[in-house]
Amino acid sequence: MNTVYSKAAGEPLKKSKSIHLKRFNLSSVSFSLSLIMILVLILCALFPGVIAPYSPFQMNQAVVMSPPSFTHVFGTDQFGRDMFSLIVYGTRQSLMMGLLAVLLGGFTGTVIGLLAGYFGGIIDTIFMRLTDILLTIPNILLAIAISAALGPSLLNIIVAVSFSAVPNYARVIRGQVIAIKSRPYIDASKTIGMPRMKIIMRHVLPNCSSQIIVMAALGIGTSILISTGLSFLGLGVIKEIPDWGYLLSQGRSYITIAWWIVTFPGLVITLLVIAVNILGDELRDRLDPKRTRA
Amino acid sequence: MGRYILNRVGISSLVVLGSMTLIFFLLHILPGDSARLIGGDNVSDERVAELQTQFGLDRPLFEQYLSYITGVLTGNLGTSFIDNQPVLSKIMLHFPATLTLTLFSTLIAIVIGVGLGILSAVYQKSWFDYMVRFVNLFSISMPSFWLGILLILVFSIQLRLLPALGSGTWQQLILPSICLGVIGSGLLARMVRNSVLELKNEHFVLALRAKGLRERSIIYKHVLRNALIPAITVIGILIGELLAGSVVTETVFSRQGIGRLIVDSINQKDIPTIQGTLLIAAVLYILVNLLVDFSYAYIDPRIRKSLVK
Amino acid sequence: MGETMKKKRLLIAIILLLAALLTACADETESSTTLSNKNPISGGEITWALAGTVTEDNLDAHKSGNAQNGRVTRSIYDSLVHETKDGEIEPWLAESWKISEDGKTYTFHLKENVSFTDGTPFDAEAVKFNFDRIKDPATNGTNSMNELGPYESSDVLDKYTVKVNFSKPFAPFLSNAAKSDLGFVSPAAVEKFGEAYPQNPVGTGPFKVKSFTPGTQVVLVKNEDYDWAPDGWGHEGEAYLDKITVQFVPEEATRLGVLQSKQVHAADIVPPQNLVLLRTDPQFNILETELRQINYSMYLNPQKEPWDDLDVRKAVRAALNIESAVEIVYLGTSEQAWSPVTTNMNGYAASVENSWEYNPQLSAHLLEDAGYKKNADGIWAKNGKSLTIDFLDTQGNREKRIDLATVFQNQLKEAGIQLNIVSLSAGEYLERRLAGDYDMIAASQFSGDPDVMRMIFSTKGPNGEENLARANKPELDEWLERGYSTNDEKVRNENYGKAQEYIIENAYSIPTYLFQYSFATVAELKGIEFDSPGFPVFYDAWLQQ
């Protein structure tokens, strides 16, 4: 994916300290739908008890695997639990896995990119070769290897998923930093004796922030897909309240007789990833004046 | 050009060595006594000690690492914990199936992805464009095993058109290739569309337009040739993605292959095999990208010139 | 087998019969296939979707410990003796045998004219070669080695007579000798292929391996020279089927999908939800058999606080409604287990049935008496520590075991006990299990003889004091010791009965469900039987054209 981002890496942004929301073209239907989707899911994550009609623990033998109806809009699972409620309650953990993985991966990648780009020389060489190495192992394979080595736990999965995102951040940020470094105001800051850390934090980092935000938005989707894949391969975590990936991987056994158990969690994952992708694209278009509006 | 190639090959070999090191240490921080795992649930302490010696697990980690590296350099990827087979021969047994699947799905991805990408750029902002973009978005946003299961449900179980299982005949190749290819085509189509759109507004295109050339001939004669060059780089990334995707796809479709081998060896905690397969995947990825770089340099005259200088 | 199960079966049989009659009335040509009792015919090729994956070394009878491999190797390898469903031992490759007074030596007279599929004759030397091979640690045959018990040596008395010596009396031997794990591999083939033998397996069985792609499939073809079937099987001479392609399909949904769309002829381990549907579908046959094994049971760690307190263990057990959980998860296809061992195991103690019950009041009462009070979250707590069970697991949802634990989690929560399902990598699991660093673990253990209890419950078993149950009581050790070291069935049963009652009384094990191995086939595939441990036998199988 890095080639896509690196296009934008050449030119720093002049006004990127804050994102100008009012400039967004809210009439764009897909964009608004995506925003609504994400907002709804955030609400689900924050107040599942208010939104879900049933408790996620409520097993009901009388309605085992009943198809979608007015009482159970997404049907019920193999225990007679309400699928809709399960998905609502699972939102928190699924979003958290995606977000934390992105935060961890983004943070590590950004730090590496900043250091490599700003200081150059041997630090640059070492870090960039390291990211080259990480890039050679396809992300899901790397995640599989890590979670196989560490054993399945929430933290390990987050580490595994974030690990594979590090090289992308590092490369893009490094490119951005190298471009910013040659700007006159950085030279000016140096001449007035500003400490290096301060220069990085004050001038370099803010100019990279748009890139970071775009990558993070797109990264949430990738993270969720990878952690779903891990669940499918039996490397997921089992929690009292199951996450979407787990629902999906458990539900697949029932596909020939109760299609709804696997269909709805899959659909929610897909819609969320679509939404963050649209959002990410839109952010990129907005934040990068050079890009043609597609 | 020759120096460029040598330089790239040199760097790539170092990267391979790095990947090898990373994979080795990653897998050797595994908790638990490997020898006890090999021996099974009811193994005696003496047997554990014996197995440790047999697999060299009682030696210091760094020594194990050195002998692994020297082993790999001489074409010995170690012996499987589970069945005492050379890892290399296990990989070779499974490799052809994965290669066929990857090639076939790359083909599907290129045909669908490049085709749709060009068309949706040419007919930008038409209903066709919107539809293609939505389908693309959908295809890259789906968990791949979910798509696989849905494909089996519809085409194999409901419509009974294609076999869901196994590897061998060409019919068995269709569903898994589509499953993988569709996801790849989404990535490719986005890329192609964007680069065609960018070129549409380049100066030379505007100049051609000013000269009065018909839009259609501008697109097909001038824009496409230039737009497809960056698409080559995506294919390198794509093959990596497809290799990784084969892990899930081969499991869903019960196909033979490297992906399945990785999953099985992880389930059995067969570290040498996991190590070997990951290494092969990394080497493949590096090779493909090296080829992409070279062909890129060969095709794009600007890059070729800068290298000759 | 419980009464309700039988009734259900009867009901299903009646429904099936009615359905058959109806179709017979509706369609003349249908009736000939549905109702007629055609004789078996030779020929035909079938594909079987096997639940699980058979990898490189798994077709070596002596190395494959997993049940899924045994299901395949049963067709390739023969055993010395054959055990009927009622536990009778009958001749197979051995024509007759004699057990010495002290129970330490077995003398077998072998059938003549038996040969391996590579032409090597099967004789006393081959028996000696095989048993010695199993006992050699380098073979790494954990299961088969265990099944040979205190094996010492074999003496070749003449070409077709062999004496097998044990250091102690070993009662389970004949029953174990009937299993495919102690089947016979061709000495010549082992010599020839060495380390690569498992990829080139050669036995004396009714089928031989034509090709084997580890992890994907194995193709078996008829052994045309086969003429030594045990009397218990349906016919003599070669098998009916020409070819069996076994595809390894661990994915449940795919396995059943390809059966339902008739891309394969058979699929095993049918999940309950599909079983319920397939049973009423006249296009398919369902065969079920109860495996002989240690039931999947929960083991609270009695060496760790607070589970060292019998009342707390009993409180957990009383809070579990196992009957309801089994009904929910297995949809009526399995029943609740009461004893550590399955009901068809020799020495099964029916006395433990209904010896405890689901009783939340009792559970609460026991915990109150033990000094527990409910905290703000509604969980019992004592000295500031809440009653939490860390349940270690490494196997995932095989046989819907995680689903079962999920229901237990729910039930326990209602009773004020917190259950955490901690899934670990195999290495971490083993490490914590051996260190005793857990509150609860669970497992089943496949075997044909009650002696398997020694593995789980005795400090003198192969696991020593780190056995699964960790009861570590001398009386238990003694009963289990006495159980295997005599050939007197009465003494054996008595000791195994005592052990089972003691284990249940002290809640050292909480048995859960009786696993039914299910085998679904298209209606045209007939004649599949099971051997004594419950592995499919394809010798009498045939395909109706």
Which residue in the set A152, A250, A256 is minimally distant from C257, CB to CB?
A: A256
- Spell A219-243 as b/e; 16+ CB within 10 A means b: bbbbbbbbbbbbbbbbbbbbeeebb
Please write the tens of the pLDDT for every residue from B189-228. 888 888 888 887 777 777 887 887 777 777 777 777 777 7
Residue C134's closest CA among C188, C236, C61? C61
Structure tokens at C154: 């074999």
Give me the helices (H) in chain A, please: 2-6, 29-46, 48-51, 83-119, 121-136, 139-150, 154-163, 166-181, 184-191, 196-199, 205-232, 244-251, 259-287
Answer whether B44 sits within 8 Å of C142, measured CB to CB.
no
DSSP A293: P
Question: What pLDDT, in 10s, does the model give residues A144-182?
Answer: 877 777 767 788 888 888 887 888 889 888 888 888 887
**For the segment C478-522, what is each residue's pLDDT rounded down to a tens digit?**
999 999 888 888 999 999 999 999 999 999 999 999 988 899 999
Q: What is the pLDDT of residue B43?
A: 66
Phi, psi of C293, rounded to the nearest 5 degrees: -170, 175
B71-100 residue pLDDT tens: 888 888 888 887 777 899 888 888 888 888
Give the single-character DSSP code of C184. -
Torsion of CA C460, C463, C468, C472, to 10 degrees: 30
Distance CA C56, CA B85 (A): 8
Kindly compute the dihedral angle of the four CA atoms of residues C452, C453, C454, C456, in this order, to the nearest 10 degrees: 110
The nearest CA of chain A is from the CA of C435 a distance in Å of 18
Residue C9 in 3-state DSSP?
A: helix
pLDDT tens string C421-438: 988 877 778 888 888 999
Mean pLDDT taken over chain B: 81
Q: Which residues of C touch A151 (CB under 8 A)?
A: 423-425, 427-428
For residues C440 and C301, is the Cβ–Cβ distance under 8 A? Answer: yes
pLDDT score, position C266: 96
**Which candidate from A79, A250, A257 shows the least CB-CB separation from C277?**
A257
C263 contacts chain A (CB < 8 A)? no
By the 8 A CB rule, do A224 and A273 touch?
yes
Identify whether the C-beta of residue C446 lies closer than 8 Å to the C-beta of residue C293. yes
Q: Which of C324, C396, C403 sits opposite A234 (nearest CB)?
A: C396
Distances (CA, A) of C128 to B44, C134, C158, C172, C415: 24, 10, 12, 19, 57
> Quick one: what percent of chain A has pLDDT higher than 90?
21
The residue of B28, B34, B41, B149 whose CB has the most chain C CBs within 10 angstroms, and thus the best one to mutate to test that interface, is B41
The pLDDT tens digits for B273-297 are 888 988 888 888 888 888 887 877 7
Q: Is B163 left (phi over 0), alpha (psi -120 to 50) or beta?
A: beta
Q: Would you call B256 and C55 a contact, using CB atoms and an 8 Å cutoff?
A: no
In contact, C521 and C266? CB cutoff 8 Å: yes
Residue C246: enclosing H or E segment and its boundaries? strand C243-248
Q: Which residue would you say has higher pLDDT here, C319 or A121? A: C319
CA distance A228 to C362: 42
For residue C433, the chain A residues in CB contact (below 8 A) are: none
Q: What confidence category does residue C4 fall into, taking pLDDT thresholds of 50, 70 and 90?
A: low
Q: Are C379 and C386 within 8 A, CB to CB? A: yes
Check if the beta carbon of residue A110 is closer than 8 Å to that of residue A177: no
Average pLDDT over residues B232-251: 79
Closest CA to C519 of C348, C286, C228, C304: C286
pLDDT (tens digit per residue) in B98-123: 888 988 998 999 899 988 988 888 88
The pLDDT, as a whole number, for residue C261 is: 83
Residues C185-218 have pLDDT tens digits of: 999 999 999 888 888 999 999 999 999 988 788 9
Which one, of A156, A177, A145, A49, lies nearest residue A104 by Cα? Answer: A156
Q: pLDDT category, B40, cuts 50, 70, 90?
A: low
User: Three-state SS across A218-250?
Assistant: HHHHHHHHHHHHHHHCCCCCCCCCCCHHHHHHH
Contacts of B253 in chain C (CB under 8 A): 254
Name which of B149, B160, B167 is nearest C216 (Cβ-Cβ).
B167
Q: Which residues of C touch B31 (CB under 8 A)?
A: 425, 427-428, 431
- From the list C247, C404, A148, the residue with the least C-alpha distance to B26 is A148
Chain A residues touching chain C at CB-CB below 8 Å:
57, 59, 61, 64-65, 78-80, 148-152, 234, 237-238, 240, 250, 252-258
Q: What is the mean pLDDT of residues A177-195?
A: 83
C516 touches chain A (CB under 8 A): no
C296 confidence band (pLDDT: 50, 70, 90) = very high
Position with higher pLDDT, C304 vs C87: C304
What percent of chain C clears pLDDT 70, i.e. is strictly above it?
A: 92
pLDDT at C31 (0 to 100): 36
- Specify the pLDDT at position C495: 95
Q: Sorting pLDDT into bands at 50, 70 and 90, what band is A16?
A: very low
Instruction: Name residue A200's amino acid.
Output: I
Q: Which chains sit next to A, with 3 or more Cβ pairs under 8 A?
A: B, C
Chain B residues whose beta carbon lies within 8 Å of the beta carbon of residue A274: 137-138, 141
**pLDDT tier, C539 (very low <50, low <70, confident <90, very high otherwise):** very high
Helix (H, G, I), strand (E, B) or coil at C241: coil
Chain B CB contacts of C137 under 8 Å are: 47, 50
Chain C residues within 8 A of B252 when measuring between CB atoms: 251, 254
3-state SS, residue B291? helix
Give the closest residue to C532 by CA, choosing from C142, C204, C9, C74: C74
Residues 219..258 of C with a Cβ closer than 8 Å to B: which? 247-251, 253-254, 257-258
* Strands of C510-514's sheet in order across: C335-336, C510-514, C293-300, C440-446, C388-393, C418-423
Instruction: Write out pLDDT tens, residues C242-269.
Output: 999 999 888 788 888 889 888 899 999 9
Q: How many angstroms separate the CA of residue C530 from the nearest CA in chain A?
A: 26
Position A21 scores a pLDDT of: 46
C-alpha span between C364 and C455 (Å, rounded): 33
Work out the number of other CB atoms within 10 angstroms of the CB of residue B45: 10
Residues, chain B, total?
Answer: 309
Q: DSSP string of C430-477?
A: HHHHHHT--SEEEEEEE-SSGGGHHHHH-TTSTTGGG-SS----HHHH
C228-246 pLDDT per residue, tens: 999 989 899 999 999 999 9
How far, in Å, CA of C453 to CA of C146, rounded? 13
* Chain B interface, best mutation among A136, A139, A225, A284, by max B CB count within 10 A: A136
CB of C421 less than 8 A from some CB of A: yes
Q: For residues C17 and B193, give the distance between their C-alpha atoms in angstroms, rounded to a whole number.
A: 62
Facing residue for C142 by CB, picked from B33, B40, B164: B40
How buried is C383 (Cβ within 10 angstroms: 0-12 exposed, 13-18 middle, 19+ buried)?
Answer: exposed
Residues sharing a CB contact under 8 Å with residue A281, sequence separation 6 or more, in sequence order: A294
Give residues with Cβ within 8 angstroms of C37, minimum separation 6.
none
Does C277 contact chain A (CB < 8 Å)? Answer: yes
Instruction: Name the token pair of A261.
Output: 């158990």
Q: Pick from A146, A255, A277: which is nearest to B149 by CB? A: A255
pLDDT tier, C15 (very low <50, low <70, confident <90, very high otherwise): low
User: H helices of C136-285, where?
Assistant: 142-147, 173-177, 187-193, 252-260, 272-278
Measured between alpha carbons, how far apart are the two ends of chain B, in Å? 9
**C214 at interface of B, judged by CB pairs closer than 8 A:** yes
Task: Select the residue of B31, B37, B252 nearest C251 (Cβ to Cβ).
Answer: B252
Query: In this model, does residue A27 exceed pLDDT 60?
Result: no
Omega within 30 of 0 (cis) for the link into C306? yes
In the predicted structure, residue A47 carries a pLDDT above the cut 60: yes
The strand pairing partners of C151, in sequence order, are C166
Q: Report the SS3 class of residue C216.
A: coil
Answer for the pair A219, A276: CB distance below 8 angstroms, yes or no.
Answer: no
Residues A269, A273, A279, A282: is their CA dihedral positive or negative? negative
Q: Which is nearest to A244 in space by CA: A278, A215, A219, A272? A: A272
Q: Is B195 on the interface with A (CB under 8 A)?
A: no
The alpha carbon of residue C396 is apart from the nearest alpha carbon of chain A, in Å, by 7
Q: Is B71 on the interface with A (CB under 8 A)?
A: no
Q: pTM here?
A: 0.80
CA dist B84 and B67 (Å) reads: 18
> Taking 60 as the threshold, does the pLDDT of residue C26 lie above it?
no
- Residue range B2-24, pLDDT digits in tens: 787 888 888 888 888 888 898 88
Is A59 at the interface with chain B, CB within 8 A?
no
**How many interface pairs between A and B have CB atoms less than 8 angstroms apart?**
128
Range from B165-174, B251-260, C66-75, C467-476 carrying the lowest mean pLDDT: B165-174
- Give the pLDDT of residue B237: 75
Query: How far does A230 lie from chain B, in Å, by closest CA?
Result: 9
Whole-number pLDDT of residue C145: 83
Contact indicator for A31, A284 with CB cutoff of 8 Å: no
- Mean pLDDT along residues A192-214: 83
